[in-house]
Amino acid sequence: MSKNNSYKILNTRLPRVDAIDKVTGKAIYTDDMSFPGMLYGAILHSPLAHARILNIDTSRAERLPGVKAVVTYKEAGTQPYGVSPARYDETIFCHDKVRYIGDEIAAVAAVDKDTALEAVSFIKVDFEELPVLLDGRHAMDEGQPQLHDMYKNNICARVNWNFGDIEKGRKESHIIRTDHITSKMQDAAFMEPQSVVAEVDSHGNLTMWSSTQAPHYIQRTLAMALNMPLHKVRVIKPAVGGGFGPKASCSTVELATCLLALKTGKPVKTTLDREQVFLHSRARHQFFHTMTTGVKKDGTLSFLEHHCILDGGAYASFGIATVYYAGSLLGGPYRLKNMKYDGYRVVTNKPACGAQRGHGAVIARAAFEVQLDRIAEELGMDPIELRLKNVMEAGETTCNELFVSSFGMKEALEAVRDSAAWKKKRSLAGKTRGTGKGIGAACGFFVSGAGYPIYRSKTYHCTVVTKVDEVGGGVTVSSGAADIGQGSDTVLAMITAEELGLPLDDVRVVSGDSNLSVDLGAYSSRTTLMTGHACKDAARDIKRQILEVIGGKLNIPPEKLDLKDGRVVGIDKDIDFSALREEYLQEHKGFMDLPEGPQLTFREASRIAFLEIGSVVGTGSYRPPKLGGSFKGATVGTSPAFGCSAQVAEVSVDLETGEVTVDNITGAHDCGFAINRTQVEGQMQGSMMMGMGEALMEQIIYNDKGRIMNANLAEYKIPTSLDVPHLDAIIVESNEPHGPYGAKEVGEGAIMPVIPSILNAIYDATGVRIDELPVTPERIIEALKKKRENK
Amino acid sequence: MVREDLGLTGSKKGCGIGDCGACTMLVNGVATFSCMMLAIQADGCVVETVESLAENGKLNKLQQSFVDLGAIQCGYCTPGMLMTATELLRRNPHPSEKEIRLALSGNLCRCTGYQKIVDAIKAVAGE
């Protein structure tokens, strides 16, 4: 689809505002920063998965020349913190027990990295080893090792939901089937390892630069865990090399580096190595799903009964939200009146899991979409027809009270069906099944910004302050929003430029700083919709002020004026601006680059507005209205809007080796309205690749002691340019009424159909279903062997 | 050495053990994982980093193509991608898509799905 509206800036393919800095090496990431006299931090990690700490002896480390500070729980205190206030189960450093290999025990600041690392190796910890719990499926069983006093039977969170009438649904069903899918823990594998620089100024103000997704939440956690007033803590996010979820929660490396800076009075930098990134994790949980679904004879869904255990590793992190999302987001995109969900999020002696792209919902979606395919086969229905029969439309509410205000689900499904020539290829299915070539489809559904903040509060979710240069001409958009590579700075610049009729180069965005404004950060695909609203309002506030001054001076109602193409224009008629121009020219004697032409330039208008009313500052604030039902946990899954997507995958499977080649991916995503078309496609293509990795190759492997055996990017395989096929991204625009200009999410929703469409295609190619992710060649060969033996 | 002593922080460290390609530089014209090379091994060699691509403040064609076609998201892999692509285009000014994908296979990217990176190199190669 091409641009089909009157916007000058929006809906185009303008380059990102940070693109030039990123192709010249000028973009500054946290590890690129240095300060005079800066110290280097290093962390001591637990070598054991579960043990009691008997004694920590730091004396030898402290004696090492060049060491400036060694900190443990004795210095850090034991103030509990975490993500969800009801589950504050972490402390800066372990004090009573260690709960996974990698758990943080101490940190050192020294004059260089080598000295810091050597000092860490000199810290002696006496442990009493405890039995280790690694299998999440059995974490709740009697007699298992217990990780936390606060989690009886290792249950960190449980959800028991019952919407509609399952028994009625069961009675109405023509086909009922139960299937299982399990996955493995996965890593987000962003390219930039976490890095932190912290500094304390002479007034006791702590500033931390960090590769984070959520400066606001991190500011709160630092203040709480370090016992400092919130206004004395500032968090700045430089350029970030990808986040995908794990960088949304506060980490020990952030807290420890701040503590070291407070203790030494010097700037301190700590950068994780790749193995530490794996140990810190906070990435994808391990899921064990069991789903029972019923359908009527005509394919109408009648109920879903869903049971899930989530293995979340040693601490809660974002896991409470994860276990809710795993259930709530199956409420759409299909009409489903009866849904039961029992979710259990358990703790084990492995690195803690948290949020990762498509939070909580990705494997649940895969399980459900695979099951729909199996049901379609039993019914003798085309899988896309079965889905089309059940998709919701705009204006409907799910059984768990999620209101869907715009919904291009049908359009997305039809787009991928037609673009991938589904009917033609699928018509061969009966003949080609099991011959090594396959095609599969799936849908997805996701929030466009979490409806509520993580901590209970009436806070605005974001504010934007836009200020016009007093000299006239340019504007600066200030926001706490976090551009982690997804391109939110570009979205804010484009919205501002559109509203003020300016070229993109005259809009500067400063962002990612907790001192600039409140913004909850880059998670739950919220920024375009939420910060976009605030940004639009701030720009309109400025426009109103400028036009009021100009209108007042010329005795023209401001609503008869507009800002367009860098100029003030009359809406109905040409206006004589010569008196105002004279005022501007008087001030600029000797300047060469003076405005000309019949209309007043933005440069003149904004200068004249300043001369009249002082600094011209526009503000915008956004928070969603009250959303969702009143049942326990009803807030998770709510959103002002919902994105949806469909995908067709085509694969070839070598039936001898089990090797899968993805030949083609065609995806369509309803983003409401594409602020930047290139960036929307980029989010879709990135999602396709990440989902492909999760479907086929990505898994954290533990040994029987709980140690990760593949904590590097050679053995933890992610897709390379050779693995990924051509990725065809189709933009669907449904004009979301609650989004700025009709826009809603794309960042996470687009990953939803990826895994199941590939799984369904593999089934088509091989004739076997693999219910354990990732679908490695070994698992395919094993399944094919089993099938042959059963014949 | 390059990042800390020379202050050329454009080249990135993603893994430190030659897995990710974010630190790729050209050493005597050959794309090299700089994390696997001691400074002394490069003694007397011509070393090119991402900082060397733009001349007199003007982006070269490859950089401009990355900008125009949206081949950049978080940007952390971008310097390495550009250096690998630079070597490829010097060696083979008109590579096929397959040759481009093969050349890039040692440079990991987690944001783009590689599509727009391949498109950006193709656009330069097709000229």
pLDDT digits (tens, 9 = 90+) for A555-606: 999 999 999 999 999 999 999 999 999 999 999 999 999 999 999 999 999 9
Q: What confidence tens digit (pLDDT) does each residue in A205-224 have?
A: 999 999 999 999 999 999 99
Task: Yes or no: say if A236 and A209 are a contact pair by the CB < 8 Å rule.
Answer: yes
Task: Report the share of chain A in percent with pLDDT over 90.
Answer: 97
Per-residue pLDDT averaged across A752-779, rounded?
A: 97
Is the predicted pLDDT of residue B75 greater than 90, yes or no?
A: yes
Q: Cis ω on the peptide bond leading into residue A774 (within 30° of 0)?
A: yes
- Rounded (5°) CA angle A75-A77-A80: 150
Query: Two tokens at A363?
Result: 């494997």
- State whether B59 and A23 contact (CB < 8 Å): yes
- Closest by CA to A453, choosing from A230, A282, A636, is A636
Q: Transcribe A421-467 into DSSP letters.
A: THHHHHTTHHHHTTSSEEEEEEEEEEESS-SS-SSS----SEEEEEE
Does residue B92 come out as left (phi exceeding 0), alpha (psi in the -120 to 50 range) or beta?
beta
User: In the prediction, which pLDDT does B127 show?
Assistant: 67
- What confidence score (pLDDT) does residue A3 get? 53
Is B10 in contact with A722 (Cβ distance < 8 A)?
Answer: no
Asked if the model's pLDDT at residue B57 lies above 50, the reply is yes
From chain B, the residues in CB contact with A25 under 8 A are: 8-11, 49-51, 79
Please report the sign of the dihedral spanned by the C-alpha atoms of residue A734, residue A737, residue A738, residue A739: positive
In whole angstroms, what is the distance from residue A788 CA to residue A781 CA? Answer: 11
Whether residue B72 and residue A713 make contact (CB cut-off 8 A), yes or no, is no
- What CA–CA distance (Å, rounded) separates A266 from A75? 17
Per-residue pLDDT tens over the stretch A713-726:
999 999 999 999 99
Q: pLDDT for B25-45, tens place per residue?
A: 999 999 999 999 999 999 999
CATH 3.40.50.720 fits A286-452+629-790, yes or no: no
Who among A20, A685, A718 is closest to B112 (CB)? Answer: A685
**Average pLDDT estimate for A525-533:** 98
Residue A376, pLDDT above cutoff 70: yes
Residues 6+ apart with CB under 8 A from A156: A87, A89, A148, A312, A316, A319, A320, A345, A346, A347
Does the B53-125 domain belong in CATH 3.90.105.20? Answer: no
* pLDDT for position A791: 74
Q: Which residue, A563, A562, A604, is CA-closest to A580?
A: A604
Domain ranges of chain A: 19-26+460-622, 33-130+191-242+246-280, 286-452+629-790
pLDDT (tens digit per residue) in A4-18: 579 999 999 999 999
Contact flag B17-A487 (C-beta cutoff 8 Å): no
CB contact under 8 A, B72 and A16: yes
pLDDT at A357 over 50: yes
Average pLDDT over residues A46-64: 98
Q: Residue A303's closest CA among A395, A177, A389?
A: A177
Cα–Cα distance, A402 to A407 (Å, whole number)? 12
**What are the domain boundaries of chain B?**
53-125
Chain A CB within 8 Å of residue B12 CB:
yes
> Tokens representing A247?
């960088």
**Which position has the token pair 């402290």?**
A62
How far is residue A409's CA from residue A407's CA, in Å, rounded to a whole number?
6
Q: A33-130+191-242+246-280 belongs to which homologous superfamily?
A: Aldehyde oxidase/xanthine dehydrogenase, a/b hammerhead (3.90.1170.50)
The helix-helix angle for A754-766 and A777-790 (nearest 10°) equals: 40
* Residues facing residue A315 across a β-bridge: none
Give the percent of chain A with pLDDT over 70.
Answer: 99
**pLDDT at site A1:** 42
**So what's the pLDDT on residue A426?**
86
Q: Counting runs of H as helices and runs of E as strands, what totals does chain B give?
A: 4, 3
CA-CA distance, A15 to B68, in Å (whole number)? Answer: 6
Cis preceding linkage at A333, omega within 30 = yes
Count of C-beta atoms within a 10 Å radius of residue A204: 10
CA distance A697 to chain B (A): 14
First and final CA of chain B: distance in angstroms?
Answer: 37
- A vs B, Cβ pairs < 8 A, gives 171
Nearest-angstrom CA–CA distance, A607 and A601: 10
CATH 3.20.20.140 for domain A19-26+460-622, yes or no, is no
CA angle A336, A338, A344 (to 5 degrees): 105
In chain B, the percentage of residues whose pLDDT exceeds 90 is: 94
Which among A131, A127, A128, A111 is positioned nearest to A119, based on CA atoms? A111
Q: Specify burial of residue A572 (Cβ count, 10 A radius: 0-12, 13-18, 19+).
A: exposed
User: Cβ contact (<8 Å) for B108 and A720?
Assistant: yes
At residue A266, does pLDDT exceed 70? yes
Tokens representing residue A147 in the block: 């990780």
**The A286-295 sheet, strands edge to edge:** A155-163, A339-346, A301-311, A286-295, A175-182
Q: What is the pLDDT of residue A790?
A: 87
Q: What is the pLDDT of residue A2?
A: 47
One-letter amino acid at A205 equals N
Mean pLDDT, all residues of chain B: 96
The answer to whether A19 contacts B67, with C-beta atoms less than 8 Å apart, is: yes
Q: Give the sheet arrangement for strand A51-57, strand by strand.
A: A97-98, A51-57, A124-129
Q: Give A430's pLDDT tier (boundaries 50, 70, 90).
A: low
- Which range, of A1-10, A263-272, A582-591, A684-693, averages the lowest pLDDT? A1-10
Hey, what amino acid is at A456? R
- Judge whether A249 and A318 are in contact, CB under 8 Å: yes
Residues of chain B contacting residue A23, judged by C-beta atoms under 8 Å apart: 50, 53-54, 59, 63, 66-67, 72, 78, 82
| Beta pairing, strands A175-182 & A195-200 | unpaired
pLDDT band for position B1 (cuts 50, 70, 90): confident
Mean pLDDT of all residues belonging to chain A: 97
Q: Which of A336, A307, A330, A302 is nearest to A170 (CA)?
A: A302
Best A17, A21, A23 member to test B by mutation, with max B CBs in 10 Å, is A23
Check pLDDT > 80 for residue A487: yes
> pLDDT of A463-482, one tens digit each?
999 999 999 999 999 999 99
Q: Determine the distance in angstroms separating the CA of B60 from the nearest CA of chain A, rounded to an integer.
A: 10
**A134-187 pLDDT, tens digit each:** 999 999 999 999 999 999 999 999 999 999 999 999 999 999 999 999 999 999
Average pLDDT over residues A20-41: 98
Calpha distance A536→A479 (Å, rounded): 12
